[in-house]
Amino acid sequence: MAAAAAPSNVEDEIPEVTPMAPAFHVPIAATPVINTQNDASTPLAEPQPRAKKKTKTQIVREELAALAAAALETPDPSPRPPSTRDLIDWNAVLKAPIEDVVECIRCRGMHFMLARRIKNLLRRIASERDGALSLEFLRDVPTELARGYLLSLEGYGVKTVSCILLLALYRADFPVDVNVGRIMARLGWVPLETEQALEELSEYAPEPAVYTFLRERLNSFGLQTLFELHYHMITMGKVFCEKRTPNCRACPLQDMCEYASCGGKRQVNATATGGP
């Protein structure tokens, strides 16, 4: 195979390049000039203010609002079952003067505050449910959404919401108030972090902590068991396990109660109170 002939002149083999015009032209005046020197006459840009960190209360309020909004997407059951019909004409309560509402609940105590809350609650429900004064939609939403919506209502705390979930919506929950906390602590069913002797305590575990502790352990029980335990705790607190004068000697749970076994100083002698 014959070798290729070498070019006689290298310049003849290089094509002539015609300079290309720029695709666009930037005027010199439009070119930004970066000033690297510190010019005192040029004001510096003010630093942007830092976003404020949300408080725990704000975070909880936003979470409840999100749960409430999700719950509100569920319509009321139609037709409404006769077993869930209201015994109170809530439209009449909404339209009534607040003084009339106060008179109806005067025996309850804190009647002026509660009357205002009732009226505000009815106004909110009417605005959220297109004028219908009904919370029946909560029967058809998941428990966490129902709990979130109820906790978003003015004046509704954990105990009130737990009572509604258990007694009205038939969901597994266990209401805890200060009496339940005291009884559970005295029985030894709730651990206490304290160096004081059990019989010397005047205050026990806070309600939210007791609720969290018991909820994880009791909510696996059936509804009937939760109903009975709830009512038994009410009876225990009113009849036997009072705060200042617990009647341990007459209590049916004294054999399994840590407070009674410690010989609590506030025990009441059964013969002095007419007991057996």
Q: Which of 131-140, 178-187, 193-202 has the highest mean pLDDT?
A: 131-140
Phi, psi at 176, each rounded to 5°: -130, 125
CA 237 and chain centroid, separation: 27
Q: Which of 114, 101, 149, 157 is nearest to 129 (CA)?
A: 149
Q: How far is CA 84 from the centre of its chain?
A: 26
Whether the Cβ atoms of residue 256 and residue 236 lie closer than 8 Å to each other: no
Query: What is the percent of the chain where pLDDT is above 70?
Result: 74
pLDDT digits (tens, 9 = 90+) for 88-125: 999 999 999 999 999 999 998 899 999 999 999 999 99
Torsion of Cα atoms, 177 then 183 then 189 then 193, to 10° = 80
The per-residue pLDDT for 196 is 46
Model's pTM, two decimal places?
0.71
In a domain, 131, yes or no: no
Domain holding 261, by residue range, is 172-268
pLDDT band at 265 (very low <50, low <70, confident <90, very high): very low
Residue 196 lies in a domain: yes
CATH number at residue 259: 1.10.1670.10
Domain count, the chain: 1
Count of H helices and E strands in the chain? 11, 0
Biggest CA–CA distance in the chain, Å, is 134
> Is residue 17 included in any domain, yes or no?
no
- Confirm whether 177 is domain-assigned: yes
Residue 259 lies in a domain: yes
Which has more confidence, 129 or 263?
129
Residue 93 lies in a domain: no
